[in-house]
Amino acid sequence: MSDSPADVKKRKFAQGVFAGMDAYAAAKAAGYRGNKKTLQECASRLMKDAVVTAELAALNAAARDDSQATRDEAIKVLTEHLRANVDDFIDDDGMIDLCAAREKGKLHLIEKVTRKKADTKHGTSENVSVSFYSKHGAIDRLAKLLGWNEPEKHEHNVHVSQLSDVELKALAAKYGIKP
């Protein structure tokens, strides 16, 4: 990319649009000057500019790359769910210790924390429970991801009398038979 002051300004405009500003506000924030009509016209031209469109494309591609989980990331998370250990969440007195779990980097293994308060004749009692993601669910998902399961057989029944001539010929060609 060129580092000319004009191109830097254009990229700043594109970054403003990418961040959610309308084109007029992005032009103003990028340092373009003029009255409202002038800035709106400038913003309209900028939206068609090659430097701006290239910067927007690059920002969109980077955001898309950052937002897509990889197969390896999914396997890592599912393996962590499979190997989750309740000991990472319990202190020496047998109480749930979410702060210690956070320090160990284990909070992502929790599916749900439920906190219930109840009024009793002795005062208010509080009960906190922690639910982990299912180990069986993690195994099932890993099995599918890693191909551990036997191939599934899918049958499709087609009434050839309902096929058009084109569909019948295509089906026959696919399986090497005469229509």
Question: What percent of the chain is modeled with pLDDT above 70?
Answer: 97
DSSP states of 58-122: HHHHHHHHHHPPPHHHHHHHHHHHHT--GGGGB-TTS-B-HHHHHHTT-GGGEEEEEEEEEEETT
Q: What is the pLDDT of residue 2?
A: 55
Q: What is the pLDDT of residue 173?
A: 86
Instruction: Give the confidence band of 179 by pLDDT, cuts at 50, 70, 90.
Output: low
Amino acid making up residue 23: A
Q: What pLDDT, in 10s, does the model give residues 117-134?
A: 888 888 888 888 889 999
Average of pLDDT values for 1-22? 87
